[in-house]
């Protein structure tokens, strides 16, 4: 692993700590459902095109009774962008060197009444440095109570830092998590932010609260719905919806593109894809 400075170390340590908290909570839910499923972890290393050490990460995947497939990945990578891709990245137009560390999570659930979810937060440095990320809820069968719970918890986290964050970042999520060729939103939204670069300590504190808010609200929603009865029609709707989710991640998602363009681990990058999906 290449040498990290204090800020890079703080960010990486938080993302790894958050991973541990989330995975422990998800495994506890599996225990409550009578399952002994646990996360399977695979470490990977990245080779940078420059020949210097390029970092790496750990892919964590669990397949259980409640979580049909959930991936929780952390990575810390750096080096140089290749070709024209660097010119599309904030601050990398004239200097292709970069650093990135973050956590990425996608959960696809066995029960179609339990919403799938995505969460990602990250810290990047080029000639500039910033935090980004967010969380969004993706129910095949939306329930108003769950949507309200998810948004209220994220709103409270945002308002502890800036009264303008929630409306701004909610709107950004609504715009980002949209499938233009289908003319539909991917789910019921959440928050999305990027290029948050006002002050490292302040922005890290906010990013930590986003992670804590996710850990507060999503397990509560899972426990609320995981024992609901469902029908074959419900399952069919879930699988149709998963097809839309896969389309978004493969065609539009920036994180998928960033991972592929920077030589990340393919299995970790594509862990967001659902285990079973239908296209009718």
Q: Per-residue pLDDT tens, the chain, 280 aa: give them.
A: 578 999 999 999 999 999 999 999 999 999 999 999 999 999 999 888 777 889 999 999 999 999 999 999 999 999 998 878 878 888 888 899 999 999 999 999 999 999 999 999 999 999 999 999 999 999 999 999 999 999 999 999 999 999 999 999 999 999 999 999 999 999 999 999 999 998 999 999 999 999 999 999 999 999 999 999 999 999 999 999 999 999 999 999 888 888 887 877 888 888 889 999 999 7
Q: Tokens for 100?
A: 């990135």
In this prediction, residue 49 carries a pLDDT of 79
Among 254, 97, 123, CA closest to 196: 123
Which of the 8 DSSP states describes residue 19? H
In our burial notation (b when 16+ CB lie closer than 10 A, e otherwise), range 10-31 reads bbbebbeebbeebbeebbebbe
Select which of 108, 118, 151, 185 is catalytic: 118
Among 48, 181, 53, 187, CA closest to 115: 187
In this prediction, residue 245 carries a pLDDT of 93
118 is catalytic: yes
In our burial notation (b when 16+ CB lie closer than 10 A, e otherwise), range 134-145 reads bbbbbbbbebee
Q: pTM value?
A: 0.94
Tell me the fold of 6-272: oxygen-dependent coproporphyrinogen oxidase (3.40.1500)
């Amino acid at each position: 692993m290449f040498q990290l400075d204090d800020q890079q170390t703080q960010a990486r340590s938080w993302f790894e700590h958050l991973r541990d908290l989330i995975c422990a909570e998800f495994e506890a839910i599996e225990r409550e459902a009578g399952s002994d499923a646990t996360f399977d972890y695979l470490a990977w290393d990245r080779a940078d095109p420059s020949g210097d050490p390029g970092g790496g990460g750990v892919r964590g995947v669990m397949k259980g009774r409640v979580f049909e497939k959930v991936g929780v990945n952390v990575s810390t990578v750096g080096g140089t962008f290749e070709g024209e891709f660097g010119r599309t990245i904030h601050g990398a137009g004239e200097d292709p060197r970069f650093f990135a560390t973050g956590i990425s999570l996608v959960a696809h659930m066995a029960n179609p009444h339990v919403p799938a979810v995505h969460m990602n937060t990250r810290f990047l440095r080029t000639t500039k440095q910033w935090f980004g990320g967010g969380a969004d809820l993706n129910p095949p069968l939306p329930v108003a109570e769950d949507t309200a719970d998810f948004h209220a918890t994220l709103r409270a986290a945002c308002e502890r830092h800036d009264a303008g964050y929630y409306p701004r970042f909610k709107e950004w999520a609504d715009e980002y998590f949209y499938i233009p060729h289908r003319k539909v939103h991917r789910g019921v939204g959440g928050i999305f932010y990027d290029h948050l670069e006002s002050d490292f300590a302040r922005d890290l504190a906010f990013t930590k609260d986003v992670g804590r808010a996710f850990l507060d609200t999503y397990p509560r929603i899972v426990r609320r719905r995981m024992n609901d009865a469902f029908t074959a029609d419900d399952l069919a709707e879930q699988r149709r919806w998963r097809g839309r989710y896969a389309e978004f991640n493969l065609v539009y998602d920036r994180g998928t593109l960033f991972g592929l363009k920077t030589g990340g681990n393919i299995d970790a990058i594509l862990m967001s894809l659902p285990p079973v999906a239908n296209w009718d």
